[in-house]
Amino acid sequence: GTTGTGIFLATDVQRATVSGNVVQGGPRGINCGGRRVAITGNHLIGQTNYGVALNSTASGCTVAGNAFDGCLQGILARGTGHA
């Protein structure tokens, strides 16, 4: 099993796209702290906390069209200005 985050985007990431990934297991599938990041079309499976987590430093991110299977919770949205 995975013990960390499948995909991590640090606070200095800007205007990135995370799309078409399959992430299985671990506490968080995709954890984002960046700005204007698009998280679309991913498949998150069996995360023990969140499939997608936008942390407090994230801003202006888009989360759309992702599939969640067996995740404790789908999306955690902290930060500001998300769509």
Report the alpha-carbon distance of residue 6 to residue 80 in Å, rounded: 23
- Cβ 38 vs Cβ 14: under 8 Å: no
pLDDT tens string 12-29: 999 999 999 999 999 999
- Cβ 36 vs Cβ 50: under 8 Å: no
pLDDT tens string 56-66: 999 999 999 99
Instruction: Kindly give the pairing relationship between strand 22-24 and strand 50-54.
Output: unpaired
Quote the percentage of the chain above a pLDDT of 90.
Answer: 88
Instruction: State how far the alpha carbon of 34 is from the alpha carbons of 11, 47, 77, in Å.
Output: 4, 21, 12
